[in-house]
Structure 1
Amino acid sequence: MNNQNSPHSQVSAFDGTNIIDLNDEHDEFENSREIIGQWKWSEDKLLISAWLNVSIDPLVGTDQKADAFWDRIRQYCEESNPGLIKRGVQAIKKRWQRINEGAQRYGSCYDQAERKIGSGSNVDNIIELAHELHKARYKKKSNFDKHWSELRKQPKWRTPSSSGSAKRTKLSDSGAYSSSANNETPTNDNDVAMSPVRPQGTKTTKRKSKGKAKAEMIEELEEIKAVENRRLSLLEKFNANHEKEMDLKIIMADTSVMNEAQLKSTAVECLKKFVNDVILVFESEYLRKPNSNDVQRLLAMGEARGFPGMMGSIDCMHWQWKNCPKAWKGMFLSGHKGIPTIILEAVASSDLWIWHAFFGVAGSNNDINVLDRSPLFDEVLEGRAPEINYNVNGNNYSMGYYLTDGIYPEWATFVKTIPRPQGEKRKLFSKYQESQRKDVEPAFGVLQSRFAIVRGPARFWDKNDLAKIMRACIILHNMIVEDERDTYATPFGPLPIYDDTTNGLSQPNLGEEPFAPYERYIERNIQIRDRQKYRQLQTDLVEHIWQFHDTTQMM
């Protein structure tokens, strides 16, 4: 602290004399405090304001420890006026105790003087008499009249004469009573006449406040609601800013000074951000449902291979989940692999483009269970799929199909092989079908060869993270297929142009798109599961492939 007596503000040598303790409570140091300017009126006024504001705050003012309460008051003082000298919690706490005690004493003397002089008197006379009573009672003049003026109208603070409880204590043999909350009530008979009147009882207080209780409760609830809404708004802004800071921190991170754990954490965060952005930007183009142009191209590819109406082949792949939670291992344990896995259902065309991907079913399920949960036919059931019309062996069909293995059901949308075929036609059909339906398996192999993260065991704990990684890898796989399709040995027709106008990409418009009537939904579901249509299609394909094979051999 600067020495105020020196004109050059030099600090005198410390000799252990004339030391003043900031936390001392002795009265003889009060004048010394004012002389050296340790606790000025501006500081006391700021301390009173801090105590009131922290106490009234509905979020932090109650149900907290004393140390935290006084530390909040210290922070309030420092933030409200940074130019003042910083003080410790103990110094602030002791100074408030002196202010509270002095204001209480002066307040009791002021109330007594006001009753003694009576109504209509000059305020200056009341103040003068209050100081005289204070000096007579406590042997010194009060220095806390300003503090009492600041505190007297605050509901959080009351003088002894206005905050007494209904409990009364007998103080003398004459039968005088005083409130238990008034510690300054005189105990001799001469002072009884000058003592404050007994405060109102509990019943009277309840009776007077009964009408105001409901309004005060509503007002208090509204204040709490406003504070809570403001807190939630600030929390949302903080989370948004924090996420931006984390993204910038990841991008600008200097990996040269990181240890192994930090590098691993940064790599994981970068991977999550990368797959999220890939899905957000490219999913609508590279993992879309086939539109009208795509359907016509797929039909042409299938007809060129002997299967008119074919939309691709469907199968499932298991991805090992190394860090599967122990509580879930029984559910995700694959029967034929003996390890926890997650299933990917996919539809791929002969050019290895993956048109459909459904990921997340537990490895303990088979392909039929996955199909029951798959959204593969949602577009067809809701009447939003492109129209398909083709002819096989003289019969017209209006629903495409997928080549499958033997586990799938006999639906009109699936074409399976013939187990133990009899006759040359059926044997030729089985040979064609078994060779063409394996298009999806090379797509799985290429996907795993390109991306090691889906080739090895999955090491993430969250299944949603694994689903996003798989979708992002499929999107990148389709990008590569689009770029390299013209280099494949087998021609697949003209490449699609990914443009909304020329390619007919369907744009979602949920506000105008009507829902399919329930009757139509049931009707389409029955058509998909029509076993008779399945057998008729298989028979027609047997004849068609026999003729197709003869034509191919002649060419």
Structure 2
Amino acid sequence: MAGRTSRECLQIFCDAIVDTYKTEYLRKPTTHDLHRLFEAHEERHHLPGMIGSLDCTHLHTFFGPPSALNDINVLQQSPLFLPERMGTAPYVPFSVNRRTYRRGYYLVDDIYLTWSTFVKAYKYPTNEKEKMFKTAQEAARKDIERAFGVLKGKWHIIDRPFRQRSLGTIRNLVYACVILHNMIIQDSGRAICLVHIGNPVVRPSSHRDALPEIQDEETHFCLWYDLTEHLAGLNLPHLQPNDDEE
């Protein structure tokens, strides 16, 4: 088979996978999904209200190395919090340290902004509680790095430079790899949300904009403090600082 024919067949295959399975395997989390994510992350990482971790990876092209993008540029172009801003996101509050928060959060690194939906590690921890939280946060964030590694290791095309293709073509190729990966996770019984329970349809409202709540720095620092106190109160042995640690 000629190289051009192979590439065209691959693209047709990827387009078919995305069109057929995106509704099931690329769907947005529902209320049921978020509750299950909260339970799974609290059981594993002891962090209530955690949705997941955010990070970005760059795809190489034959034109050279990745462009000068960082996590903030990616975030500004992402529709990540669009459902919250339009009032269509599930309302799934959680409580930590006897305080209730309106929405879950993502673990991020230092480059992200001080939003209420982001939780960072302490850059310079000054006491044992902060050191314990830094250890737990960084350990939990390794999941997203492992996910990228597994995805690239399983689908080598993601780890190689892309040929001259449109963004839509590259997007569907990556989406197809993610969908196939999610299929494997589900078939092996390792999926967190095994049953899809949908939410009632809510129409977007042009009058609602939750961006000020999402960007609230006071909520960010309150959540940071409450999670630190929560972990310190659990007295987990694996989070105790080493005696020789400076």
Q: Does the C-alpha gap of structure 1 residues 320 and 550 become closer, same or farther in structure 2, counting only changes over 3 Å?
A: closer
Q: 1:447 aligns with which of 151, 154, 160?
A: 151
Counterpart CA distance in 1 for 2:10 and 2:181 is 17
Task: Name the aligned partner's letter for residue 317 of structure 1.
Answer: T
Q: For residue 529 of structure 1, what is the aligned residue in structure 2?
A: 215
Task: Name the aligned partner's letter for residue 102 of structure 2.
Answer: S
Q: 2:198 aligns with which of 504, 509, 518?
A: 504
Residue 400 (str. 1) matches residue 104 (str. 2): yes
Task: Name the aligned partner's letter for residue 399 of structure 1.
Answer: R
TM-score (norm 1): 0.41
Q: 1:313 aligns with which of 26, 43, 53?
A: 53
Residues 291 and 506 in structure 1, CA contact (< 8 A), matched pair in contact too: no
Residues 428 and 545 in structure 1, CA contact (< 8 A), matched pair in contact too: yes
Q: For residue 278 of structure 1, what is the aligned residue in structure 2?
A: 17
Q: For residue 204 of structure 2, what is the aligned residue in structure 1?
A: 515
The offset of 1:340, in angstroms, is 3.0
3-state SS of paired residue (1:290): coil
Q: For residue 475 of structure 1, what is the aligned residue in structure 2?
A: 179
The offset of 1:550, in angstroms, is 4.2
The offset of 1:463, in angstroms, is 2.7
3-state SS of paired residue (2:100): strand
Residues 88 and 203 in structure 2, CA contact (< 8 A), matched pair in contact too: no
Q: Does the C-alpha gap of structure 1 residues 422 and 552 become closer, same or farther in structure 2, counting only changes over 3 Å?
A: closer
Q: Does the C-alpha gap of structure 1 residues 340 and 392 become closer, same or farther in structure 2, counting only changes over 3 Å?
A: same
Return 5+ residue gaps in structure 2 as ranges: 240-246
Counterpart CA distance in 1 for 2:145 and 2:132 is 21
1:19-30 pair list within 5 angstroms: none
Residues 119 and 220 in structure 2, CA contact (< 8 A), matched pair in contact too: yes
3-state SS of paired residue (2:171): helix
The superposition leaves residues 47-73 of structure 1 with CA deviations (integer Å, 9 ceiling, x where unpaired) of: xxxxxxxxxxxxxxxxxxxxxxxxxxx
Residue 340 (str. 1) matches residue 65 (str. 2): yes
The superposition leaves residues 129-174 of structure 1 with CA deviations (integer Å, 9 ceiling, x where unpaired) of: xxxxxxxxxxxxxxxxxxxxxxxxxxxxxxxxxxxxxxxxxxxxxx
The superposition leaves residues 458-477 of structure 1 with CA deviations (integer Å, 9 ceiling, x where unpaired) of: 12333321111111111111
3-state SS of paired residue (1:311): strand
Residues 294 and 496 in structure 1, CA contact (< 8 A), matched pair in contact too: no
TM-score (norm 2): 0.90
3-state SS of paired residue (1:480): helix
Residues 88 and 204 in structure 2, CA contact (< 8 A), matched pair in contact too: no
Q: For residue 258 of structure 1, what is the aligned residue in structure 2?
A: none
Q: Does the C-alpha gap of structure 1 residues 551 and 431 become closer, same or farther in structure 2, counting only changes over 3 Å?
A: closer
Q: For residue 56 of structure 1, what is the aligned residue in structure 2?
A: none
Counterpart CA distance in 1 for 2:157 and 2:39 is 34
Task: Name the aligned partner's letter for residue 226 of structure 2.
Answer: D
Residue 295 (str. 1) matches residue 34 (str. 2): yes
The offset of 1:424, in angstroms, is 0.5
Counterpart CA distance in 2 for 1:280 and 1:506 is 23
Counterpart CA distance in 2 for 1:466 and 1:514 is 31
3-state SS of paired residue (1:434): helix
Q: For residue 242 of structure 2, what is the aligned residue in structure 1?
A: none
Task: Name the aligned partner's letter for residue 378 of structure 1.
Answer: L
Q: For residue 265 of structure 1, what is the aligned residue in structure 2?
A: 4
The offset of 1:505, in angstroms, is 6.0
Residue 387 (str. 1) matches residue 127 (str. 2): no
Residues 59 and 162 in structure 2, CA contact (< 8 A), matched pair in contact too: yes
The superposition leaves residues 216-244 of structure 1 with CA deviations (integer Å, 9 ceiling, x where unpaired) of: xxxxxxxxxxxxxxxxxxxxxxxxxxxxx
Counterpart CA distance in 2 for 1:276 and 1:505 is 27
CA RMSD of aligned residues (A): 1.9
Counterpart CA distance in 2 for 1:517 and 1:462 is 32
Residues 311 and 400 in structure 1, CA contact (< 8 A), matched pair in contact too: yes
Counterpart CA distance in 1 for 2:25 and 2:195 is 12
Q: For residue 115 of structure 2, what is the aligned residue in structure 1?
A: 411
Residue 538 (str. 1) matches residue 232 (str. 2): no
Counterpart CA distance in 1 for 2:146 and 2:75 is 21
Task: Name the aligned partner's letter for residue 448 of structure 1.
Answer: K
3-state SS of paired residue (2:53): strand
Residues 460 and 466 in structure 1, CA contact (< 8 A), matched pair in contact too: no
- Same amino acid, percent of matched pairs: 37
3-state SS of paired residue (1:402): strand
Residue 460 (str. 1) matches residue 158 (str. 2): no
The offset of 1:548, in angstroms, is 2.1
The offset of 1:517, in angstroms, is 3.9
Counterpart CA distance in 1 for 2:147 and 2:128 is 31
Task: Count how many residue pairs are aligned between Structure 1 and Structure 2.
Answer: 238
Counterpart CA distance in 2 for 1:442 and 1:531 is 30
3-state SS of paired residue (1:469): helix
The offset of 1:367, in angstroms, is 0.9
Counterpart CA distance in 2 for 1:551 and 1:506 is 43
Q: For residue 431 of structure 1, what is the aligned residue in structure 2?
A: 135
Counterpart CA distance in 2 for 1:505 and 1:441 is 30
The superposition leaves residues 380-419 of structure 1 with CA deviations (integer Å, 9 ceiling, x where unpaired) of: 1111111111111010111110000110001000000001
Task: Name the aligned partner's letter for residue 264 of structure 1.
Answer: G
The offset of 1:437, in angstroms, is 1.3
1:92-107 pair list within 5 angstroms: none
3-state SS of paired residue (2:18): helix
Counterpart CA distance in 2 for 1:485 and 1:547 is 33
3-state SS of paired residue (2:79): coil
Task: Name the aligned partner's letter for residue 3 of structure 2.
Answer: K
Q: 2:75 aligns with which of 345, 358, 371?
A: 371
Counterpart CA distance in 2 for 1:462 and 1:397 is 41
Residues 428 and 546 in structure 1, CA contact (< 8 A), matched pair in contact too: yes
3-state SS of paired residue (1:320): coil
The offset of 1:552, in angstroms, is 8.7
